[in-house]
A and B are shown apart, each in its own frame.
Chain A
């Protein structure tokens, strides 16, 4: 049996939650004080996901970098693979908010999109 300790992010209470797992299946969730904590803990131990925000190099733009984000959550263990791909991307000005700069980043099925308007220099 595996035990995982988590801090709930559902509200500022920050309940300390302990999850017990058997072969990847959740057996029990303890320490939470509401339903939000239970749901958070189950997601977090089975398929933790995050949105990644960073910047990419841009050519010919009126700013040195373009800020970007993954259009949705990606698996937590793919964050550094995604960073590597985004870091090797060179965008070309102009860029508008929502433009896709990397397709299917790190094989996650999620695109990386621009979060800033970049004009031509």
Chain B
């Protein structure tokens, strides 16, 4: 088997952008391993528009956005293998994979980039009572059936969860002639973008019921009806609030989970908050030379941010192959408290950071007219007012290398503070 310097696990938006950046940083020995039969990942089925406003300054559909990167990979002559499943990544960065042409094979890589993406939270993880009939799909599965295969999963639809994929599918099913009866959301707010609530639900008169969940599914062979009920602040159903909808389809859009089985078995340290690897300023995990980017690292709402993050991972992997492990530099730890849930990265080695470093994070609830504050040890160095912050929208602060070199903090804390 041929050997490669950099093996990239996953050929979606993160893997493609990482490959391009690693190549542009001077590495000519890159291999992308993709389990699907084509490059592009989940973007291929996201046929709606709104991608790429940050990266290309125009609104593209998912397949168009993916193709911009696929074309770069092809033009740069970067190697890739399709229909190839990675079975294991060892701590010494030996990647074991298999496909029909090569059988099982091993590549002793110098650097590995984790770009496996995420998957949808399945019904089994949601504790919905009722039978287990046909007609229950994750929103993403339904999206693939409709947009890629050209099949309709059903005609009368109830959707649980108001994440963006659920909202997008409410519109998509409606356009294809289905009747979407209701979207139920457990939380008192939607996890989806406002634009999607207006253009996917309001446009078609589809009701969104916040603080509601599914309490019963009827039908033995196929779904015949779904009952939803209001939930209290404890998220438990309130008796007497049940509404029954006859339907043949239930779509689930209840969150995404980074797909990290390979990372875990490699010994990569994980964050319990993001379910993704803990990374430093170079997007490198606790295993030197193993990098992570995109939805496997933390779930994003904008692909533009995935591409940007993945470029950094790719460039840093190429740098690692050339220069090896970091030997010097103080490591500063980052903490998220008071409403901020996590930060990516978790640590910063000032010697190795770029002049400007984007730190991304999410908030745990909706905050209005609040401040994002950054503390170097106990000193507040940034205090940015935000009109609104919501769990569904990723936030960021930008740190300057020169400031960190000047004040040499031991730790950096990001907090959400109310108006004084």
Contact = CB atoms under 8 A, between A and B. Distances in A.
Contacts of B393: 12
A13 interface: yes
A12 B193 contact: yes
B48 A64 contact: no
B61 A50 contact: no
Interface string B61-77: 10110010000000000
Contacts of B387: 11, 13, 33
Interface centre among A79, A116, A117 (most CB of B within 10 A): A116
A116 to B, nearest CB: 4
Interface string B188-203: 0000011101110011
B388 A12 contact: yes
Interface stretch (A20-28, A53-61, A99-107): A53-61
Contacts of B326: none
B49 A51 contact: yes
Given A7-B202, A53-B49, A57-B150, A115 B61 contact: yes
A65 interface: yes
Interface in A3-55: 6-9, 11-14, 33, 50-55
A83 interface: yes
B148 A53 contact: no
Contacts of B147: 55, 65, 67
A79 B149 contact: no
B194 A7 contact: yes
Interface in B157-197: 172, 175-176, 193-195, 197
A26 B238 CA distance: 43
A67 B194 contact: no
Nearest to B392: A12
A54 B143 CA distance: 11
B47 interface: yes
A9 B200 CA distance: 12
B203 A50 contact: yes
B47 A53 contact: yes
Interface residues of A, number: 29
A64 B63 CA distance: 15
Interface centre among A13, A57, A76 (most CB of B within 10 A): A13
Given A12-B390, A54-B175, A7 B198 contact: yes
Interface string B42-68: 001001110000000001110110010
Contact of B148 (A33, A51, A64): A64
Given A9-B195, A12-B193, A97-B64, A64 B150 contact: yes
A54 B47 contact: yes
Interface string B371-406: 000000000000000011110110000000000000
A14 B201 CA distance: 14
Given A50-B203, A64-B150, A69 B388 contact: no
Contact of B197 (A7, A51, A83): A7
Contacts of A64: 148-150
A65 B149 contact: yes
A65 B150 contact: yes
A6 B388 CA distance: 19
Contacts of A11: 194, 387-388
Contacts of B193: 12
Contact of B194 (A9, A50, A63, A76): A9
Contacts of B194: 7-9, 11-14
Nearest to A86: B175
A54 B60 CA distance: 13
Given A53-B61, A55-B150, A116 B67 contact: yes
Contacts of B61: 53, 67, 69, 115
B57 to A, nearest CB: 16
Nearest to B61: A115
A9 B198 contact: yes
A80 B174 CA distance: 10
Nearest to B63: A116
- Please provide the 5 A-B residue pairs with the shortest distance between their CB atoms, ordered closest to farther: A67-B47, A9-B195, A116-B63, A14-B194, A115-B61
5 contacts: A8-B194, A9-B198, A53-B47, A53-B61, A97-B64
Interface of A: 6-9, 11-14, 33, 50-55, 57, 63-65, 67, 69, 76, 79-80, 83, 97, 115-117
Interface of B: 44, 47-49, 59-61, 63-64, 67, 146-150, 172, 175-176, 193-195, 197-199, 202-203, 387-390, 392-393
Given A76-B203, A115-B64, 13 more contacts: A7-B197, A11-B194, A11-B388, A12-B194, A12-B388, A50-B199, A53-B49, A54-B47, A55-B146, A57-B150, A65-B149, A69-B61, A115-B47
